[in-house]
Amino acid sequence: MWKESPAPAVFVPAPAEPSSAPVLVVPAAKGAAVTEAQPADEPNTTTAAAPGRVRALPTAGPLAGKVAIVTGSESGIGRETARALGAAGAAVVLNGLRPERLEATRRQLEAAGATVAICRADITDYAACEALVATAVQEFGRLDILVANASISQRAYFLDMAPEVFRRVLDSNVYGAVFPLKAALPHLLESHGSITFISSISALNGMPSGSAYCAGKAALTNLAHTLRLELDGTGVHFGVVHIGFTENDDDKRVLDADGQPVPIAYRKPRWQKTQAEVAAIIVRHIRRRRQRTVISALGWLIAIVHTNFPRLGDWVVLTSMRRLRKFYE
Eight-class DSSP state of 36 = S
The stretches of the chain forming alpha helices (DSSP H) are 76-87, 99-111, 126-140, 163-191, 202-205, 211-230, 275-288, 297-308, 310-323
Please work out, in degrees rounded to the nearest 5, the angle formed at the alpha carbon of residue 242 by the alpha carbons of 260 and 66: 100
User: 326, 266 in Cβ contact below 8 A?
Assistant: yes
From 175, 213, 266, 328, the catalytic residue: 213
For residue 186, cis peptide bond before it (omega within 30 degrees of 0): no
**Backbone torsions φ then ψ of 248, nearest 5 degrees:** -120, 160
Judge residue 15's burial from the number of C-beta atoms within 10 Å of its C-beta, 0-12 exposed, 13-18 middle, 19 or more buried. exposed
Q: Is the dihedral of CA 280, 246, 129, 240 positive or negative?
A: positive
For 179, residues 6+ apart whose C-beta sits below 8 A from its C-beta are 123, 124, 125, 126, 129
Tell me, yes or no, if 213 is annotated catalytic: yes
- Active site amino acids: 213
